[in-house]
Amino acid sequence: QLKRKRIKSMDQTELCYLTADEAISKFKAKKLSPVELIDAVIDRTEHVETEINAFTYTFFEQAREAAKIAEKKYASNEETGELEGLPIGVKDESGIIGQPLSKGSLIYKDYIAEDTSPVNQRVIDAGAIVHARTATPEFSCAGFTWSRLWGVTRNPWNTEFTSGGSSGGSSASLAAGTSTICTGSDIGGSIRIPASTCGLVGYKPPYGRNPEEAIFNLDFYCHTGPLARSVKDAIRLQNVMCGPSPRDIATLRPKLTLPYKYNPIKNWKIAYSPNLGCFEVDAEVEKNTLESLEIFKSLGATVEEVDLGWGSETLDAGLAYLGHIFGAAMQDELEQHGEKLTTYAKAFAEESLNSTPRDFLGSLDVAYKMYETLGPILERYNVLICPTTAIPAVPAEFDPTKDNLEINNKEVNKMLGWCMTTPFNTMSRCPVLTVPSGRASNGVPTGIQIVGRTYCDEDVFQAGLAYEIAASGWYDTESKRPNL
């Protein structure tokens, strides 16, 4: 019989919104058991999942057994992993051997993974409990999350709107309290978009920091990274994910371990761009961004608006690159199973048929020119801040092949014209941390991106943690959570 002090006053919902940092501390102090936490998360899932639809597959019985093993480790003071006993939602995009892996597609509805991805293996080795796989749009090729196989994933803050994409199941789960931490991936904003729409912290590390699966490990737009409800939790998961891998030639040596504590940002110089020179931005997003900048000023930083010199070619180049590489990767599915594809995946794959090597080369030329202005700015300033998305979110069932998208009464690109994230996939060596900036009148959260100098990961976390502390956190009280 394990003897421990129970937290009698903490109800199930409070357990579900513990940060990873808090949960690990309570496990070690024997004030909470991993079994209690996983039971609370499972109960919460059974209560809200029909409304949110964050998960594709669940593994509750296996999770309970894993929690019992973690409980014994903590009870006997054995060595435990960085994520020991934490319920983690893993994006249904990368494999865990023996588990189903759908990639959000009817084509893969019966597929069982034959391998475990490097990042997923690290998460498991660190003691995390994979209780569920989180929903994605088909082949993770959209900034919203719905598919013919799994239906629509909705935003816990307002179910009429998307939870973002492509890591939309991960963001919905975290906001709804059905996971403690989650994995994500980002090729055009797929970590940062859902982090913003759901009021979370999301991190796109610089290219090569975290291992990726072939062949997209060689695509410099592509990044795996963490989603969390706090900056410290993002640090914890990022430290597990990162480091060189013998399975990924692009991974960097040596491993970078981020600290949990940083010096104040007093006297920092922060550059601010309201629209990156090429996006229409909603008034509520702009208002929340400016209010966030006031918090940075209160911490002793100076904030100056800058002109990046970027224009519409910035997004055009990103879309051209994604079409040439990402779209080409979907050609076999288009040719062999076109009738099973979603409208948006089919359209994306079909449009990529027109991509040429010249288009690809042109996207690289634009990337060079973009950094010609961004690089010198980042030398003069500690970080650059801008909104994460140009509107809070699109509707949950938004279909870019059928629906129009306007911002400020101006038509924008239907796929990514509302996402201010893709330029920093183009600038892929820059670390980018997304943190909440507030909520819009429809209840949907908004976010800001903190962009650092190339490979200066610590800078964005130093700024993000200082901001989070000054803003008094995100999910620690009932009033800061969705009403589910």
Phi and psi (nearest 5°) for 410? -120, 135
* Rounded Cα distance, 208 and 222, in Å: 9
Helix-strand-coil percent breakdown of the chain, rounded to 5? 40, 15, 45
CA pair distance 5, 177, nearest whole angstrom:
24
E-strand stretches of 258-352: 269-272, 302-305
Query: Residue 227 forms beta bridges with which residues?
Result: 182, 202
Q: Which entry of 94, 190, 292, 428 is annotated as an active-site residue?
A: 190
CB 299 within 8 A of CB 292: no
Q: Which helix (H) or strand (E) covers residue 411, if one does?
A: strand 410-411
Any catalytic annotation for residue 166? yes
Helix (H/G/I), strand (E/B), else coil: 436: strand
190 belongs to the catalytic site: yes
- Give the helix/strand (H/E) hosting 182: strand 181-186
Find how far residue 308's CA is from the centre of its chain: 25
425: number of Cβ within 10 Å: 26
CA 331 to CA 319: how far, in whole Å?
Answer: 17
Q: Tell me the two tokens of residue 98.
A: 């023996």
**Alpha-helical runs (H) found in 353-456:** 357-380, 423-426
Helix (H) or strand (E) holding 223: strand 223-228
Residues 140 and 96: beta-carbon distance below 8 Å = no
- Residue written as token pair 């100098």: 453
Mention every residue, 6+ apart, whose C-beta is less than 8 A from residue 298: 470
Considering the candidates 26, 91, 103, 232, report the single residue annotated as catalytic. 91
- In 409-456, which ranges are continuous DSSP H helix? 423-426
DSSP-assigned letter for residue 443: S
Q: What angle do CA 209, 369, 363 make, to 5 degrees?
A: 75
* Contact in structure between 58 and 131 (CB atoms under 8 Å): yes
**Catalytic residue selected from 102, 147, 166, 245:** 166
| 122 in Cβ contact with 82 (< 8 Å) | no
How far apart CA 198 and CA 480 sit, in angstroms, is 12
As a whole number of angstroms, the distance between CA 465 and CA 448 comes to: 13
In whole angstroms, what is the distance from residue 171 CA to residue 164 CA?
8
The neighbouring-strand residues paired with 161 are 395
| Strands 410-411 and 87-91, sheet pairing | unpaired
Active site residues: 91, 166, 190
